[in-house]
Amino acid sequence: MHKTDFSQYEDIPRAMRKYLSYYGPHFSKKLCEFAVSKMTKENDKPITPYTKKEVEDMLNAYSVKIKNLEGYDHVFVANMGKADYLDSSIPDEAHLAKYIKNVLDDPDGYDGIAFNRWYADTVKKGVPIIWEDML
């Protein structure tokens, strides 16, 4: 099977290529804040996002250690879990902490899994990303 990612294409925006040169396929603080600002609950109300400190405190409180911790990926995944699954298939923050680890340390996953999934969804939805603002 041929494995390539979007960063191999020549026609990606120049500022996106620059972003990737700085952060790779991972969330910076600015990109995480942008992505999380688009998250809503089922009722289309925006979530009150977790901060980086709140996510790290949650992980510590439940003794969850993430091996593949890069940039703000864990903050993005925590907020995605909050928006989409918390109080549903994820009953509480103890399980949310485990979910964050499951996503980022997925044994058959890959580097940048959260970023790549988010980017594919964002493109599919037609959400513009002003990459210059993410640098």
pLDDT above 70 (res 3):
no
Q: What average pLDDT does the chain have?
A: 93
pLDDT at 6 over 70: no
What's the pLDDT score for residue 2?
Answer: 42
Q: Quick one: pLDDT band at residue 42, thresholds 50, 70, 90?
A: confident
pLDDT at 1: 42
Indicate the DSSP class of residue 84.
H
Rounded to the nearest angstrom, the gap between the alpha carbon of residue 101 and the centroid of all alpha carbons in its chain is 12
> For 109, what's the count of Cα atoms within 13 Å in the CB-facing half-sphere?
16
- At 11, the pLDDT band (50, 70, 90 cuts) reads confident
The per-residue pLDDT for 7 is 59
Q: Which long-range contacts (CB under 8 A, 24 or more apart) does 8-15 make?
A: 13/131, 15/130, 15/131, 15/132, 15/134, 15/135
Tell the residue number behind the tokens 């809503």, with chain if given.
40
Which pLDDT does position 12 carry in this prediction?
86
Spatial CA neighbour of 96 closest among 105, 88, 86, 104: 86
Confidence (pTM): 0.92
What is the tens place of the pLDDT at every residue in 88-132? Answer: 999 999 999 999 999 999 999 999 999 999 999 999 999 999 999
For the chain, what are the domain ranges? 15-134
